[in-house]
Structure 1
């Protein structure tokens, strides 16, 4: 237990510090070098830009590690409820440190990037990850949930394109929009039925009962809250995607009419 706590605390603390450094120092310097247009953004836009850069970095790290654990971590695959994995604990620690950092940034810059749904999301995730980090249980489950982060880079990239005033119908914007919708629907929505199917299959078993009521309740309740948010966000993304596709069709129809008149 002592080794587990030390690994959890050290990883979470390190992730928090790195996230703060990325937000306050690395992103402002790096973003201007890569995209000069960032320099002319308003203070409010720069705050959100830096926040999304950190979000993208975090998503790529925990998403890729989560995918590795999901596919190859034998100990947790064999026992999803109680199987122990040091890399699994580290990944949850990385996610927790980032979430605490982002929560602090949201509160400090509430007028700029404040969003109640993100507060709910972060608090629910941090609360659930606390039990994973302290008791070393549900490591496989927690890392499976982190696969949802694989959609965040595409969501953030969409915002970057909009902020830099990329044309809505530009090839890069359209491709990213399609990928965002597809990846989001796979890792956050399509994963819901098998996840709750698994939850039902282990309900009442000896390993499940050994978790105790508090961890059982936390597992179920936080997942329900997070998935309600995922469905709400998916509806928003789908509406945006349908709107863009509709506008593209209208533009094509106009061009074909103009070409017909010219002929």
Structure 2
């Protein structure tokens, strides 16, 4: 890994820590009156989710730029010029390290072994991108999934502020969350794996060696199995909420409402 990547990782780690400790509390107190009424433990998770949203927007939008305009990466998905992708991955690695430290410091309230495994696996896979510059197209493609994270976090903000789940804003965000999740995590699966199939067995693929090959294929399959399970639960939750809204509109008695998605989705999508 070159000094530039190390500098970006370190700068990203420090920047997200600064956002969490200073910027997010100030912004939240100014823009969200309900923030000050939350319990201290909720402040920690609120700030962490706001940082998560900022990271997701930075990385996700950068991914779209690379996908649309980086001809070198699109022309050679395995060994194309990785400079922009390495920059984006380094930002994400800094964020993952910050988040691991946050989890360790708040393990009693936020600790989750699944989350730790996810972060460590991601750091392992991204390490190949940063150290060897391999698979830039595929690394960039995976990071597009971050664009669904702001809607998941916004759902938590509404919930902790006690917004009614049948309220217009909550339902609208639930629909947007479901659509965004489907578009960036599910609808892209055929395109992604068609590129994978076209790459496997080529000389470029062989040059990777066993380590990067296993890390790439195994992590991709595991993530997409999880994404498919989460998509089902999100869709099922949204259906129940919309059905309840329609029932209320028709004058019927609303059923006890469920979350738009399971707690694991709310905690793990970042």
Under a length normalisation based on structure 1, what TM-score does the superposition of the two structures give? Answer: 0.92
Deviation digits for residues 215-250 of structure 1 (CA, Å, limit 9, x no counterpart): 111111111222222223223322221121121122
**How far 1:23 sits from its partner (Å)?**
1.0
**How far 1:107 sits from its partner (Å)?**
2.1
Q: How does 1:231-246 map to 2 (within 5 A)?
A: 231-246=228-243
Q: 1:243 to 1:255 in 2, by over 3 A?
A: closer
Which of the numbers 11, 14, 25 marks the counterpart of 1:14?
11
Q: How does 1:124-139 map to 2 (within 5 A)?
A: 124-139=121-136
Supply the RMSD in Å over aligned alpha carbons. Answer: 1.5
2:211 match: 214
Which of the numbers 11, 35, 56 marks the counterpart of 1:59?
56
**Matching of residue 167 in structure 1 with residue 159 in structure 2:** no
Under a length normalisation based on structure 2, what TM-score does the superposition of the two structures give? Answer: 0.90
Which of the numbers 46, 51, 66 marks the counterpart of 1:49?
46
Q: How does 1:240-259 map to 2 (within 5 A)?
A: 240-254=237-251
Gap runs ≥5 in structure 1: 257-263
2:265 match: none
Q: 1:77 to 1:192 in 2, by over 3 A?
A: same
User: Partners in 2 of 1:226 and 1:101 — Cα distance?
Assistant: 22
**How far 1:255 sits from its partner (Å)?**
6.2
Between Structure 1 and Structure 2, whose CA radius of gyration is higher?
A: 1
Deviation digits for residues 193-220 of structure 1 (CA, Å, limit 9, x no counterpart): 2212221111110000011111111111
Deviates more, 1:109-118 or 1:169-178: 109-118
Q: 1:232 to 1:116 in 2, by over 3 A?
A: farther
| Structure 2 contact 86–136 (Cα < 8 Å) conserved | yes
User: Partners in 2 of 1:235 and 1:106 — Cα distance?
Assistant: 28
User: Partners in 2 of 1:136 and 1:218 — Cα distance?
Assistant: 14
**Matching of residue 177 in structure 1 with residue 174 in structure 2:** yes
Structure (1 or 2) with the greater helix fraction: 1
